Copies of this chain bind each other. A is one copy, B any other.
Amino acid sequence: MKLPRLLVTYKVGAAPDDIEARARALAAEQSVEMPVEAIGDARVLAEVVATVESVRATSTPDAFDVTLGLAADTTGHEASQLANMLFGNCSLQPEVQLHDVIFPPGYASAFPGPAFGVAGLRERVGATARPLTCTALKPQGSTVAHLAHLAGTFARAGIDVVKDDHGLANQSYSTFAERVPAVQAAIAAANRETGGRTIYAPTFSGSPKAIAEQARIARDCGVGMALVAPMLVGLPVFVEMRREFGLALLAHPAFAGASRVAPALLLGKLFRLFGADATIFPNHGGRFGYSRETCLGIAAAARAPWEDLAPIVPVPAGGMSVERVPEMISDYGMDTMLLIGGGLLTAGDALPGRSREFVRRVRET
């Protein structure tokens, strides 16, 4: 019987004469982490040492695509050990980047995957055949009253998801326990007024104990979604949130750039596997340097057919404006959530109007 293996592709810098040896060293590093010659156990050699499946030249000199076969059992079928096997030690080698993973059939079933996904989020906000809209409560440092007022304004304008700025955590000037019930109440009041179904996604952060307490507060006041940066709280914590809290999960990419993993793999494929329902990423042409191709790759990974895992919602963001709505819908299609934060807040006193304009443009495009 052939052992199930993950096919893991790395971008590796090396001279052509060195690449075969470099690929074998990478296979040892990402599996047994010792000289393979010194291993006496035949089963370990056959079933645990990673295999070099292919080495391919790229269009860049001295840059190769190396695909390893990692034994599925070495990952322990768990998020932290999966990340360890994919990019633990070799994340420390600057000439290596993690590019993509193809999982063996059935592998994903050990992970929770999204609870809601595209269809579930559409149902939650009552949107059938249009992109969703999202905005952020900013800036951090604002009083709870100001944030609640902003949230009410956005909800009355009909924006589907109002999230905390990811910098709103549990600071003394706006603790989670004070902020979240107040903002949720403002949104609920606006929903009653308009008949709308805006949902609130506060930022969850801190230790596992702190997060459990935040979940209790959020559920007690009727919050339905959590904004979480998996790389800040820890990948296995994100998985545990998915398994235990019953909240929709909006993944934030903060701190994700620290480890040189291809964005489509990390923000698209892996965050989805671990339970995200929607994934925020910095759209091209904003404040970040991702190319259009990278961004479309994230969206494709979020929605590609994948066994029993529901497709999830890509959320382009990072300096977007109402003017770019038609172009973004053209790029990403209907199963998308457009996130405009600062681009609404710069309207000042005209905020209600610009928020309604955002909603209108999305519905009409």
Enumerate chain A interface residues (CB-CB to B < 8 A).
25, 29, 31-35, 37-41, 43-44, 47-49, 71, 73-74, 76, 78-81, 83-85, 87-95, 138-143, 146, 165-167, 169-173, 205-210, 229, 231-237, 239-240, 253-261, 282, 287-290, 318, 341-342, 345-346, 348
Contact = CB atoms under 8 A, between A and B. Distances in A.
Per CB-CB distance, the 9 closest pairs between chain A and chain B, nearest first, are: A234-B234, A257-B259, A48-B141, A32-B139, A88-B254, A91-B257, A208-B208, A34-B342, A44-B141
21 contacts: A31-B140, A33-B165, A33-B342, A34-B165, A34-B346, A44-B141, A73-B173, A74-B167, A76-B171, A76-B205, A79-B207, A80-B206, A81-B205, A81-B206, A84-B167, A84-B255, A87-B258, A88-B166, A88-B254, A93-B287, A208-B208
Given A88-B166, A256-B92, A141 B74 contact: yes
A287 B236 CA distance: 28
A118 B240 CA distance: 34
Contact of A210 (B91, B207, B236): B236
Contacts of A171: 73-74, 76, 81
B205 A240 contact: no
Given A166-B84, A169-B84, A345 B38 contact: yes
Task: Report which residue of A71, A85, A140, A172 has the largest number of chain B beta carbons within 10 angstroms of its beta carbon.
Answer: A140
A44 B139 contact: yes
Given A32-B167, A83-B232, A206 B76 contact: yes
Contact of A88 (B33, B71, B229): B229
Contacts of A44: 139, 141-142
A239 B243 CA distance: 22
A254 B101 CA distance: 18
A276 to B, nearest CB: 16
